[in-house]
Amino acid sequence: MQIWPGRPYPLGATFDGAGTNFALFSEVADRVELCLFDDAGKETRIDLPEVDGFVHHVYLPAVQPGQRYGFRVHGPFDPPAGHRCQPEKLLLDPYAKAIEGQVDGDPSLFSYEFGKEGVLNTEDSAGHTMLSVVVNPYFDWGNDHRPRHEYHESVIYEAHVKGLTQLHPDIPEEIRGTYAAMAHPATIEHLHALGVTAVELMPVHQFVQDTHLVEKGLSNYWGYNTIGFFAPHNSYSANGQRGQQVQEFKSMVRALHEANIEVILDVVYNHTAEGNHMGPTLCFRGIDNQAYYRLVDSDKKHYFDTTGTGNSLLMRHPHVLQLIMDSLRYWVTDMHVDGFRFDLAATLARQFHEVDRLSAFFDLVQQDPIVSQVKLIAEPWDVGDGGYQVGGFPPLWTEWNGRYRDSIRDFWRGEPHSLGDFASRLSGSSDLYEHSGRKPIASINFITAHDGFTMRDLVSYNDKHNAANGEGGADGESHNRSWNCGAEGPTADEQINALRARQHRNLLVTLLLSQGVPMILHGDELGRSQQGNNNVYCQDNELAWVDWDLEDWQQELLEFSRRIVALRRQEPVFQRRRFFAGEAGHGGESEVGDIEWFQADGSRMTDRDWSDGSNRCVMVFLNGEAIPEPNRRGERIVGDSFLVLFNPYHEDVEFTLPGKEYGDEWTPRLDTADDQVGVVSVFTEESAFSPGVKLPVEARSVLVLARGPVGDK
């Protein structure tokens, strides 16, 4: 085999059409071996004698796509000093574009004998760990183009590649649970009919199955256990050929783009699957432990952990920052994804100890001409001190708004003193974002997400039921702000089931008509249940998968969901790009302001009313003639004006419509008290109401009225 010096950049394995360049960073290594594996598993080792800037590199003209490889790093094994090099452990390439296999839990994967810290394990891990794969970067993208939906026009759908598609009857069985299933017309048609503009895929970076879960007959279903930041997870590939997960992922993105749907990835750059000091040595730990991981300053044998997983990446090391930025750019430029949701993003801001919005990571993202132009969504917290940072991220970023989730849940379960905060969340959370110059689109509004109850379970359970996880109920959030409507779990009581369906509709309407960017959890539009389990991270089975065998009430809920998404997308007043001002004028022709809040009796809300803990009901006027921002062509936006009447109370409440200065006529557009898809019997499609009219709004329901006569709708 010919061996050429190669180049130190780009890092990883790069096929150029003739051969492959290999480059690996390690400041601590005395020597690095590239290990090539043939189809029979025979290993050939090649020294990487060339080193530039601590990057060890070589070029092999004979190596083609499909070649499996790994590294062995020779250097100090001195845990008290932070070093853990062990050439007996075969290591993944941190820049591997594809990865083959899974770890099998063999003792050879670990530096120590099981449970015996200090007793060194020198067994060779080859044959028990994963292998990196050289890939062909070429792909026919055709006429692929990014949808580039504006945030204010977006409806995000959080989905799991396998969970969404594994049980779909219209998808061929052999491709269910894969990238190919996500690209199947049945999946895309559902997303298109629902009206979503983006799918936010739960982790698709290569992740590791935790040994302790496998031993219990469980698995890492969610995938928040990354080991390969460039490689699509291999078990989501329908094509068993080596490295084909890359081509299949690209085909999925191309198909979703053709349907005008963006692809956002949930990425986990805060930690890796190697765990704490007793975890397996798979990649980073054996390459350069002290460079990649944050260690306890006074005890470098142990890891400084703000993620709850055993380790945290060292966000002030230049090669860690380079790794993350290279990964982000790769997924945008080579894989054509449209954005990222950053898991436990507060950890990425910990350049030192505290969360710092001016950290090096944010600086790099801000100045990057590629990464800065895609959607950037932070999960703005971690488990470390000061980690809850909702509202604290820089202007370029949007955030999962945990305050929104908690407030909406409290309002609809009837908590006192919840009305004021509810109004703030409904109108875009200006108290969280306006001070930093951000707009309502900074708030990613969600009521449910993968972590916690589904929306159906939120209205069906008071307590978590996580026995299937095998942790004695100790896992998962205990304070869920849920209400079971009178019975815990499934019931034959028709009144309770009807109330649950209504509460479900209330939550969906609130989510879709709030200012900001709504995010729907997959299956919530179908009434998906996890039987009260609020932490299905280890349940790769029917408990967590979407069941597409719909009962009548689920089909009705789906139709309702489509209708409310369509209402949002059709009406500019629900998609404002700027915060409400409240006063009249503001660039419009209306004599009233852009928003007004009323009590049920039609009088304006006062400060005293907002602070009254017994106040539950509210009516909000949204002025479609006072939208200050122009459209993309610079034209003034004028849409319908709306009154939205919220009654979370347990009894019917009579609302009085406001004076004629707000509108001469009001027409029902939506009522959650209806058990069907249309408008309830007391409000026919031909109904129209005048100012001052008293309307009965049923208990625990929302009534949406549009200004103007019926013929205009």
**Strands 642-647, 618-622: parallel, antiparallel or unpaired by DSSP?**
antiparallel
Q: Which sign, positive or negative, has the C-alpha torsion 101, 44, 107, 231? A: negative
- List residues with catalytic annotation: 343, 379
What is the amino acid identity at position 127?
Answer: G
Distance CA 381, CA 648 (A): 30
Q: Where are the beta strands (DSSP E) in 68-209?
A: 68-74, 77-78, 83-84, 98-100, 112-113, 116-120, 131-133, 156-159, 198-201, 205-207
Distance CA 621, CA 605 (A): 12
Does the pLDDT value for residue 594 go beyond 70? yes
Model pLDDT for residues 279-326, shown as the tens digit of each residue: 999 999 999 999 999 999 999 999 999 899 999 999 999 999 999 999
Those residues whose C-beta lies under 8 Å from the C-beta of residue 705, and which sit 6 or more positions away, are 642, 643, 644, 645, 657, 666, 667, 668, 669, 689
What's the predicted TM-score (pTM) here?
Answer: 0.96
Residue 604, class by beta-carbon neighbours within 10 Å (0-12 exposed, 13-18 middle, 19+ buried)?
A: exposed
Helix (H, G, I), strand (E, B) or coil at 80: helix
Q: Which of 575, 579, 567 is nearest to 672 (CA)?
A: 567
Distance CA 702, CA 655 (A): 12
Tokens of 129: 């760990």
Those residues whose C-beta lies under 8 Å from the C-beta of residue 328, and which sit 6 or more positions away, are 267, 340, 365, 368, 370, 371
First to last CA, the chain: 74
Distance CA 602, CA 643 (A): 11
* pLDDT mean over 91-118: 92
Q: Are 464 and 532 in contact (CB under 8 A)?
A: yes
Angle, helices 494-513/402-412, rounded to nearest 10 degrees: 140
The b-or-e profile of 33-55 (16+ CB within 10 A means b, else e) is: bbbbbeeeeebeebebebeeeeb
Model pLDDT for residues 613-646, shown as the tens digit of each residue: 889 999 999 999 998 888 778 888 889 999 999 9
Total Cβ atoms within 10 A of residue 312 = 24
pLDDT at 586: 42
Report the residue count for the chain: 713
pLDDT at 686: 59
Q: Are 565 and 573 in contact (CB under 8 A)?
A: no
Model pLDDT for residues 4-15, shown as the tens digit of each residue: 999 999 999 999
* pLDDT mean over 189-209: 98
Total Cβ atoms within 10 A of residue 215 = 9
Number of H helices, E strands in the chain: 16, 32
pLDDT at 359: 80
Those residues whose C-beta lies under 8 Å from the C-beta of residue 274, and which sit 6 or more positions away, are 227, 280, 281, 282, 283, 284, 285, 310, 311
What is the enclosing helix (H) or strand (E) of 301? strand 299-303
Lowest mean pLDDT among 57-61, 216-220, 379-383: 379-383
Tokens of 318: 């230049």
For residue 681, what pLDDT band results from cuts at 50, 70 and 90? very low
State the average pLDDT for the chain: 94
Those residues whose C-beta lies under 8 Å from the C-beta of residue 457, and which sit 6 or more positions away, are 482, 529, 530, 531, 532, 534
Q: Which of 48, 44, 230 is nearest to 134 (CA)?
A: 230
Distance CA 301, CA 278 (A): 10
Instruction: Return the percentage of the chain with pLDDT > 90, whole number.
Output: 86
Cis (ω within 30 of 0) for the bond into 10? yes
Q: Which sign, positive or negative, has the C-alpha torsion 310, 315, 317, 323? A: positive
Does the pLDDT value for residue 443 go beyond 90? yes
Distance CA 417, CA 191 (A): 37
Helix (H, G, I), strand (E, B) or coil at 360: helix
Helix (H, G, I), strand (E, B) or coil at 589: coil
Distance CA 199, CA 455 (A): 18
Q: Which sign, positive or negative, has the C-alpha torsion 60, 62, 63, 65? A: positive
Distance CA 553, CA 460 (A): 15
Model pLDDT for residues 467-501, shown as the tens digit of each residue: 999 999 999 999 999 999 999 999 999 999 999 99
**Strands 517-521, 156-159: parallel, antiparallel or unpaired by DSSP?**
parallel
pLDDT at 114: 75
pLDDT at 709: 64
Does the pLDDT value for residue 712 go beyond 80? no
What is the enclosing helix (H) or strand (E) of 205? strand 205-207
Angle, helices 552-570/185-194, rounded to nearest 10 degrees: 60
Total Cβ atoms within 10 A of residue 521 = 22
Model pLDDT for residues 47-104, shown as the tens digit of each residue: 998 999 999 999 999 999 999 999 999 999 999 999 999 999 999 999 999 999 999 9
